[in-house]
Amino acid sequence: MVFVQRPRFTWQLRTRSIALGERTLVMGILNVTPDSFAEDGAYLQATAAVEHGVSMLDQGGDLIDIGGESTRPGASPISTQEEQSRVLPVIEAILRERPASVLSIDTYHAETARAAIAAGAEIVNDVSGFKWDPDLPRACADLRCGLILMHTRGRPNEWRTQPPFAQNEVVPLVKSGLAQSLERALAAGIDRSRVVLDPGYGFGKAYDNNYPLLAHQDELLELGQPLLAGVSRKSFLGRTLARAPERNLSPASAASTNSPEIPPDIPPQARGNATLAATTAAILAGASIVRVHEVRPALEAASIADAILSAR
């Protein structure tokens, strides 16, 4: 079996640079929302959010990604004022406690990006790939921050009714979409050294469409940018586990449904082992950064994957 050697890359952020490719960086997820698919509002209160963010840093997390608006399937947009009221106090408080920490703002709003960077964030993580707010490319160029551009197909309120890709279409369409996002960034005057690309697992990809994307993720490296992979607790993992009761993969925890169109599922909190398997696969397929809910297990998995890559 041949694993992917990740290219070395110096990622330019707002005030510093980070070496990518030498070892996997672990980004902890901090959703300051009442309706996250994976945490169910556990960190909506600023105090709880700050404690969790600091805890992930103390566990060894390299970066923390803070989001104030849910992008779960079916989610409704909120105002930028509400988004900022959730995330800005958390950014400021974490930086007071851990001044050297590297924080990312998960937003597609130019106004929120500007406010979060002013509060001390180093990176803008745009799940839309510069498609939902036409002012965001120029804002990021002006801010001279690090940037993550994700591939997204449609909007959250469309995902449940979208037809799936044909399996052989997934990678070419994601690659083309990411190339377009990268071109928007370059056209806005953003240097390549600031851009990381994210395949967007689960974002407009039907459940089994995510597996060919993961299996051929290395093809996205042809775009010339480092990759971030976020497979943590994703629904495609839960669907796969729920389809395998003959192997006793938590069949009792599979959600029941009366609709033949919605397959049974394993709840997000029971997808930890599956997350580690998919995260390891993503690293071996070229991801330089992994975005996860549980930092310590991901660090251990990344250590093993990195050792495998080093042994080549």
Q: Per the residue annotation, which of 6, 131, 271, 291 is the catalytic one?
A: 291
User: How do residues 240-283 score in pLDDT, each as one tens digit?
Assistant: 999 876 555 544 444 444 444 555 789 999 999 999 999 999 99
**Model pLDDT, residue 307:** 97
**Model pLDDT, residue 35:** 64
Same domain, residue pair 154 and 258: no
CATH code of residue 64 = 3.20.20.20
Measured CA angle at 302 (ends 301, 308), to 5 deg:
95
| CB-CB contact of 66 with 43 (8 Å) | no
Same domain, residue pair 293 and 243: no
Residue 1: inside a domain, yes or no? no
As a whole number of angstroms, the distance between CA 195 and CA 224 comes to 10
Position 297: which residue type? P
Residue 263: inside a domain, yes or no? yes
**Which parts of the chain have pLDDT scores under 50?**
250-260
**Model pLDDT, residue 261:** 53
**Model pLDDT, residue 248:** 54
Query: 291 an active-site residue?
Result: yes
| CB contact set of 233 (below 8 Å; sequence gap of 6+) | 37, 38, 268, 269, 271, 272, 275, 293
- Report the domain count for the chain: 2
Same domain, residue pair 33 and 123: yes
Domain assignment of residue 262, given as a range: 239-270
**Model pLDDT, residue 36:** 60
**Model pLDDT, residue 243:** 87
As a whole number of angstroms, the distance between CA 201 and CA 232 comes to 9
Same domain, residue pair 192 and 255: no
**Model pLDDT, residue 41:** 52
Same domain, residue pair 244 and 292: no
Same domain, residue pair 36 and 128: yes
Same domain, residue pair 212 and 119: yes
Q: Per the residue annotation, which of 86, 234, 239, 271 is the catalytic one?
A: 234
**Model pLDDT, residue 1:** 56
**Model pLDDT, residue 259:** 45
Same domain, residue pair 61 and 92: yes
Query: 234 an active-site residue?
Result: yes
